[in-house]
Amino acid sequence: MTARIAVLASGGGSNLQAILEHFDRLGERRGGQVVVVASDRAGAGALERAMSRDIPTSLIATDKYPDRPQLEDVLREYSIDLVVLAGYLKLVPIEVVMSHVGRIINIHPALLPSFGGPGMYGHRVHQAVIDSGATVTGVTAHFVDNEYDRGRIIAQWPVPVFAADDARTLAARVLRVEHIVYPRVVDAVASGRTTLDNPCMLGVGAVVDGRPSFTLLPHEDSRLAENIELALGH
């Protein structure tokens, strides 16, 4: 049985797109299915991407849309098994976190616990990385708990920072890696291969002598490292 997934997004939805395309490629082997895309913003590109595939969408109640359903109601209406945050900028209400322990995941565009926490989103993250002088950043997929960016880490992957980078060029390089790592994490959690109690990492990376190197766990597909190298331009 495939897990019923809600994707929550506030922005363009390129990670949503990557997840949908990965599931297309997996076909019957996929561990889940995106059954609703919800947003706190009416203009979110993610909603358009969902509509173009006839995936139901939902606007969640905020100060701006007080008459919309609460997140909890949407998750109940669609019998959601797994909540996937993909550029969702609102804090998930504590009641939802408590009722979905181990069933909410997020992607963060840096190597947590560095460069995370309240206010660390979008280009602010990448600017902070550049300002720090770090030569390596990366992506982190993690379970969500009641603190911003503090839940248990599922997978991390390094991305080099180059001297000529600005926040825009760095964000683009990191995003390419997100598009490879996150769909695989979503599938691993949806299928039950990765759980909160079984913190096996999907893959771990390190930068050795200026070049990313990768270690994969047996259950992951062998093209992950190759795809990431391609995304990084190696």
- The catalytic residue among 100, 108, 126, 142 is 108
Tokens representing 52? 């173009």
Q: Which of 13, 158, 203, 212 binds ligand GRF (CB under 6 A)?
A: 13
Alpha-carbon distances of 184 from 19, 58, 143, 154, rounded to whole Å: 8, 25, 14, 11
In terms of DSSP H, where are the helices of 121-233? 123-132, 167-190, 223-232
What is the DSSP secondary structure assignment for residue 119, as one 8-state letter? T
Q: Does 107 bind ligand GRF (CB under 6 A)?
A: yes
Shortest distance in whole angstroms from residue 82 CB to ligand GRF: 17
Alpha-carbon torsion angle 119, 122, 128, 133, nearest 10:
160
> Quick check: helix, strand or coil at residue 132?
helix
Verify whether residue 142 is a known catalytic residue.
no
DSSP lists the bridge partners of residue 208 as 211
- Which range touches ligand GRF (CB under 6 A), out of 12-20, 73-81, 153-161, 205-213? 12-20
CB-wise, 103 or 176, nearer to ligand GRF? Answer: 176
Q: Phi, psi (5° rounding) for residue 213?
A: -125, 155
The residues in 67-96 that bind ligand GRF, with binding defined as CB under 6 A, are 86-87
Q: Does 109 bind ligand GRF (CB under 6 A)?
A: yes
Length of the chain, in residues: 234
- Which range touches ligand GRF (CB under 6 A), out of 106-114, 153-161, 162-170, 183-191? 106-114
The residues in 124-183 that bind ligand GRF, with binding defined as CB under 6 A, are 175, 178
- Give the interface with ligand GRF as residue ranges (CB under 6 A): 9, 11-15, 86-87, 107-109, 175, 178
- The residues that are catalytic are 108
